[in-house]
Structure 1
Amino acid sequence: MLGKKFLKNPFHKPASDVPKEAYNWRLWFAVLTFSLLGAARGFDEGLIGTTASQKSFSNLFHLKDPSLSKSEQANRLSNITSMVQIGCVLGAMVAFFMADRLGRLWAARQLIFFWVVGLAIFISAGANGSLGQVYAGRFIAGVGIGQTAVVGPAYLAEIAPYPIRGLVVGFFAGASYLGIMIGYFASYGSSLHISNNSQAQWIIPNSTPLYVAAIIFVLSWFQPESPRWLVKRGRIEDARHALATIRQLPVDDLYIAREIADISEQLEQEQEATMGTSKFGLVRELFLIPSNRYRLWLSFGAQVLSQWSGAGSITVYAPQFFSIVGVKGSSEGLLSTAILGIVKFVSSLISAILLVDIAGRKPALCTGITIQLVAMTYMALFLTIDPSVGTAGAVQSPSQKHAATGAIAMIYFSGFGWALGWNSLQYLINAEIYPLRIRALGSSIAMTLHFANQYGSNKAITEMFLALTTAGTMWFFAAVTLLGLVWVWFFLPEATGRTLEEIDALFELPWYKIGRQKRTPPPARGVYGEYVIDEKEPRAQAHVEDANVKA
């Protein structure tokens, strides 16, 4: 009895109508596989900024060539760092067709191909110093990386029991920070142990993602297809078997029958209420139906406000930001950056496990944005008062040194807030607000906006430092962060405690009420039927003679 008491699944919520068998190793195995797709973007963000700061890479590609002006040097650096985002824009656009036509599993496998080929082209540029090859490799890798942000969260949201959907999709963001952290430490380790004259100093760290790509590819062959995608394709029996595998329940279990019936009913209602089944019909449906336009508004606002809030730029250009606030030396900057990776990774886990499904989406997001706002405002004030802190030979008073230490701490504080808020929620928002029929299309457009804005912010940051000064840039980030906090409070709906089908119904409210709806308590009755599933009694099993007949 004592063992049973302490070995209960910590993620099982007795008050919900989801049976305890649904929280099983098969679910977490699938979650692990598709969450790791998030590491693709994380590796790139963690590696490219630290790679660009290493002398071996900088010298080979003339990033600090004295014959180039400051603006030309900044432009070359931003071209290298942001080329992946250009590829990601294309990747996010094609992800809709890949995920809907091929299915979530094959979409994942083909994006890994682009990711690996692009990495190989980029790494092999170390042999000849071709800047064009660097651009080409990073662009091709971006085509694969851009698709991960659509395929991964969509699959995770579609297989997760609704009480832990935030936790499950949150692991995708956590994997992104795992990639960032590994990338930071790989670059730091190579800077300590490999000579600045050896191209292996940057090639070895940038080879690390190849191993993770291979692991994801192999694990994908052990996963079932998304049951919701199978229902959409009319493969009801396959969907029933896939869901039974993930839930670890018999195929004829009443809960499986009810969940499949619920998905089928929602899809039928969408098809009856909308404009046909063609791809063009889906596009018209997305842009002409008011509830879907509100969803697009949420996607647009979330991507613009998050990507221009500055925290993403700090991730990519972390060594440069630490230098701006007074961290001296290449190795010291890389060590500070590596610690930032740990802070963000731990923060993302805290958000996924303790905040998103317990406190709610909006409270978690508002908490993270508020922390980020405090950090950005402090750094802006500090750089306004002491603009020379990062220049060579600058002499500081004791009080200025203390203030500089505070600014360094605020970089970590900003990363903490970003990981708790925007970065953890931006994938979840896109994965759960769109109805099944247009989920892949809506997520694809959302992530296209995401990467377009990420490209813009990463490309602009070096020029912003020159045009606005570092202090002015931080004030800009603080203003956008404040605007984001207000926007979330008034417009973003609370999805905690709702099934994907219930979220769909939420958007039928008048637009000015959607963002003000409070979270729902765990249902007292099953959302898949009239009966609560009592785990103390054996559940009934359903015999379904026709795919469209509900048990």
Structure 2
Amino acid sequence: MAGGAAINVFKFNTGGLPKETLNWKLWFAVFAFGLMGAARGVDEGLITGVFNSHAFKQSVGIDDLGKTELASVKGTISSMVQLGSVAGALFAFVVCDRIGRVWATRQLCVLWILGIAIFLGNNGSMAAVYAGRFIAGLGIGQTCVVGPIYLSEISPAPIRGLCTCMFTGAVYLGIMLAYFANWGTSIHMADSYNRWAVPTSLHLMFAGIIFLLTFFQLESPRFYIKQGKREKALEVLCKLRGLPATHPYVLEEITEMDFAFQEEMEATRGMGWKGLFKEILGIKRNAYRLFLTNLAQNMACWSGGSAITVYAPDLFKLVGITGQQQSLFSTVVFGVVKFVAAIICALFLVDMAGRKRSLIIGIVLQSIAMFYIAVFLNLVPIAENSHFEPTAGQSRASTAAIAFIYISGVGWALGWNSGQYLLSSELFPLRIRGICSSITMAMHFICQYAVNRALPEMLLENGLGPHGTFYFFGVVSVLGGVWVWLFVPEAAGRSLETIDKMFDLPWYKIGLYGRKFAEEYDREQERIYTDEKKEAGVVVSHNETA
């Protein structure tokens, strides 16, 4: 099969891949489309620093609000990008399937730049702040659909996890640079317009770079297959693989794409849009895939990982960091830790250890961290208490709580933040991949909007309180880990077309037995292929003798 064993990065064993497939065109495409992850990362890393600028609050007239009212406005501003991203994610499948992955990237960059420009030029108008962040969200929301789909479609199966995780790595690159920008401007700039506008310009830099890089990229061969342009698909595939059209690896890969798409088309011929939704919801295996990916988004967001990223400066203060600059510096370290964890995950876990094992390792780390922080905040009254003087033991416990925030970031990077994108980009058949990925990413941003909007008020004493919030995140993390172990299938090293075979099993067996079932299918297909070659050889030999 065109899948093959996952690559061993330590020995760089190519897992059966022809060496020509690991060429500069592939890695350049992975870099260009993986960089889209920075869109989400930059926003998550920047917005709390922007909001904590007194100049920003004064310019939009919210500097004199009470604690509860300020928490509400903060939640709304922070989550407005997520609200726009819901619409952006749903719109992405239309442009992705109509105009292709490359042109979809160009138009989302335009929306992203337009929204940030309106936000920067708000001139004291809260309406412009909301509108700008919403429009930016229309572009940012599409990145989480277009980027992972393209990366999964162009990547050879043994390194698909590595390539798709470049997107999540870029999320943390964006977060890290945003944290550095907030910290640097807090040290070197007075609290004026430039204090929050200069970091925000990171959005424009990334959007501009990605837009320019698209003019040097090839369209996805699977998009051309869907458009009925097989020759163009083969031409692009040859360029991406660095192999001629007659090479067995290329022929097998293009044949798999052809066969899978023709099989889908035969099953849904003449149904149109109504048939497309009927195919998603009316065919049990497809409905279950959509259920899996959407429940994964809920579990991921409500485990608290993304919310900690957005509100990191405030949460470090809760566990004992004092002073604005010290809090921002702690977020810089947090960003570096998460970025390194994402690189480790991409290189050594998702393809070698497998998606499922990596996901569970990350969730376990995150759960332990959440419960420690919850217990600490429950026992030590340090949160929102500037007059509290901790004992030596409590100070050590506070240091440990700070460390566990870092550990939660490592867990999030290894687990849910990588897993949620891999699941949505790998599990769906070609015909419905775009729309199902869009629906899944819309759910992702709905959940992100909800948790980012809710967290400032959850932390208040009339909400769950600081310790109650972390207990909540810990419980969701544990439930998510159990669910992943029982129900999420392992797709490492499998081609996108053969992943479909796992869903021939009953839904309650897919998570535990799906990979074994698919491997048995592969062996059977290999045996049939070998027998056919032997029979063909016998026929040729007989004809030559005659």
Is 1:429 aligned to residue 423 of structure 2?
yes
User: 1:142-190 CA deviation, whole Å, 9 max, x = no partner?
Assistant: 0000000000000000000000100000010000100000000011100
CA contact (8 A) 2:157 2:496 kept: yes
Residue 404 of structure 1: how far off its partner (Å): 0.7
Using the alignment, how far apart are the partners of 1:96 and 1:297 within structure 2? 18
CA contact (8 A) 2:162 2:346 kept: yes
Say which SS state the counterpart of residue 504 (structure 1) adopts.
Answer: helix
Is 1:134 aligned to residue 133 of structure 2?
no
Alignment match of 1:495 (pick from 467, 488, 491): 491
User: 1:319-373 CA deviation, whole Å, 9 max, x = no partner?
Assistant: 1101111111110110001111001111111111100000011110000000000
Say which SS state the counterpart of residue 387 (structure 1) adopts.
Answer: coil
Alignment match of 2:73 (pick from 70, 76, 79): 76
- Structure 1 stretch 276-285 or stretch 82-91: which is displaced more? 276-285
Alignment match of 2:174 (pick from 179, 191, 201): 179
CA-atom RMSD in angstroms: 2.0
Say which SS state the counterpart of residue 234 (structure 1) adopts.
Answer: coil
Say which SS state the counterpart of residue 313 (structure 1) adopts.
Answer: helix
User: 1:209-236 CA deviation, whole Å, 9 max, x = no partner?
Assistant: 2122111111111111100110010001
AA partner of residue 508 (structure 2): Y
What are structure 1's unaligned runs of at least 5 residues?
Answer: 1-7, 533-551
**Larger helix fraction of residues:** 2
CA contact (8 A) 2:502 2:514 kept: no
Aligned length: 519
1:374–1:64 CA distance, 2 compared to 1 (3 A): farther
1:527–1:345 CA distance, 2 compared to 1 (3 A): farther
Alignment match of 2:511 (pick from 515, 519, 533): 515
AA partner of residue 505 (structure 2): L
CA contact (8 A) 1:525 1:531 kept: no
Residue 527 of structure 1: how far off its partner (Å): 7.1
Using the alignment, how far apart are the partners of 1:72 and 1:269 within structure 2? 56
User: 1:217-265 CA deviation, whole Å, 9 max, x = no partner?
Assistant: 1111111110011001000111011101100112333322221121011
CA contact (8 A) 1:11 1:164 kept: no
The match for 1:545 is none
Residue 10 of structure 1: how far off its partner (Å): 6.8
Say which SS state the counterpart of residue 496 (structure 1) adopts.
Answer: coil
1:29–1:344 CA distance, 2 compared to 1 (3 A): same
Alignment match of 2:443 (pick from 435, 442, 449): 449
The match for 1:285 is 279
Using the alignment, how far apart are the partners of 2:360 and 2:316 within structure 1? 26
Say which SS state the counterpart of residue 367 (structure 2) adopts.
Answer: helix
Residue 105 of structure 1: how far off its partner (Å): 0.5
1:189-268 aligned within 5 A? 189-196=184-191, 198-268=192-262
* TM-score (ref. length: structure 2): 0.92
Say which SS state the counterpart of residue 419 (structure 1) adopts.
Answer: helix
CA contact (8 A) 1:271 1:277 kept: no
The match for 1:154 is 149
Using the alignment, how far apart are the partners of 2:174 and 2:285 within structure 1? 36
Say which SS state the counterpart of residue 515 (structure 1) adopts.
Answer: helix
AA partner of residue 330 (structure 2): S
1:102-117 aligned within 5 A? 102-117=99-114
AA partner of residue 411 (structure 1): I
* TM-score (ref. length: structure 1): 0.91
CA contact (8 A) 1:195 1:201 kept: yes
Identity across aligned pairs (percent)? 49
- Structure 1 stretch 518-527 or stretch 425-434: which is displaced more? 518-527
Using the alignment, how far apart are the partners of 1:525 and 1:118 within structure 2? 53
CA contact (8 A) 2:160 2:493 kept: no
The match for 1:335 is 329
Residue 434 of structure 1: how far off its partner (Å): 0.3
- Structure 1 stretch 139-148 or stretch 502-511: which is displaced more? 502-511
The match for 1:313 is 307
CA contact (8 A) 1:152 1:172 kept: yes
CA contact (8 A) 2:152 2:426 kept: yes
Residue 294 of structure 1: how far off its partner (Å): 0.9
Say which SS state the counterpart of residue 492 (structure 2) adopts.
Answer: coil
The match for 2:538 is none
Is 1:99 aligned to residue 115 of structure 2?
no
The match for 2:265 is 271
Residue 34 of structure 1: how far off its partner (Å): 0.2
